[in-house]
Amino acid sequence: MADEILTQIDEKVKKNKVMLYMKGTPDFPQCGFSAHTVEILKSYGVPFASEDVLADPTVREGIKRYSNWPTIPQIYIDGKFVGGCDILHELHERGELEPILNAAFGK
Amino acid sequence: MMITPEEIKETLAKVLPASLIETQDLTGGGDHWQVIIVSPAFEGRGLLEQQRMVNDALKEAMNSERIHALTMKLYTPAQWEKLGS
């Protein structure tokens, strides 16, 4: 028996080149870590989809199981789990995020 | 019960050989923490894998929300030395 919420998450992660699970929305983030993540993604000017985990407790729990990662935000690029705020920040600082995004968007 | 810096350090040290573990209470509320860890166990592992090791070590405290947010700065001994600290 497939777990419905995991299937739902999997579809979104695969459908969107960049998928962000966050607290709040990109315009109104409800947590500093989510806000910082949005800021980094916006600085690259790439489109990204997001879902507010505060709006749905099943998503909030489901996403942690999906990635086996205990915290939110969570960033997925090209269907792959990249990490949370710290990792995105670190990749950004090291200049390693741009090539990952370029590869995802076929640039 | 609130988690203490000592408890975080002890829990980490039990599973992670580390030459340095530093904790900082980011908000003063006792549940938003930053940890700096220097460990040879991070050698040859990606960022995701390194953080998974720390998450795993602190699993209980994270699941029970005693740690609500954790910012990690993780270094191998060589990376740490390069920082000039």
Distance in Å, alpha carbon of B71 to nearest chain A alpha carbon: 6
Position A86 confidence tier, pLDDT thresholds 50, 70, 90:
very high
A101 touches chain B (CB under 8 A): no
CATH code: domain of residue B31: 3.30.300.90
Flag whether the pTM goes above 0.90: no
The owner of tokens 């640039």 is A107
The domains found in chain A, sorted by start residue, are: 4-101 (3.40.30.10)
Cα angle for residues A45, A49, A55 (degrees, 5° grid): 135
Question: Could you tell me the residue range of the domain that residue B30 belongs to?
Answer: 5-82
Distance in Å, alpha carbon of B48 to nearest chain A alpha carbon: 6
A33: phi then psi, degrees, rounded to nearest 5 = -70, -40
For B35, name the nearest residue in chain A, comparing CA atoms only.
A86
Per-window interface: A 2-31 vs B, CB < 8 A: none
| B31-76: pLDDT as tens digits | 899 999 999 999 999 999 999 999 999 999 988 889 988 999 999 9
User: What pLDDT shows up at residue B34?
Assistant: 95
Q: Which DSSP string do the residues of A15-71 spell out, in sequence order?
A: H-SEEEEESB-SSSBSSHHHHHHHHHHHHTT---EEEEGGG-HHHHHHHHHHHT--S
Check the CA dihedral A17-A92-A59-A7 and report its sign: positive
Burial level of B83, CB count in 10 A (0-12/13-18/19+)?
exposed
Q: How far apart are CA B25 and CA B5, in angstroms?
A: 8
Q: Which chain A residues are Cβ-neighbours of B73 within 8 angstroms?
A: 86
Position B1 confidence tier, pLDDT thresholds 50, 70, 90:
confident
Q: How far apart are CA B2 and CA B25, in angstroms?
A: 12
Backbone φ/ψ region at A21: left (φ over 0), alpha (ψ -120 to 50), beta: beta
ipTM for the assembly: 0.81
- Contact status, residue B38 vs residue B76, Cβ threshold 8 Å: yes
| Enclosing H/E stretch for A3 | none
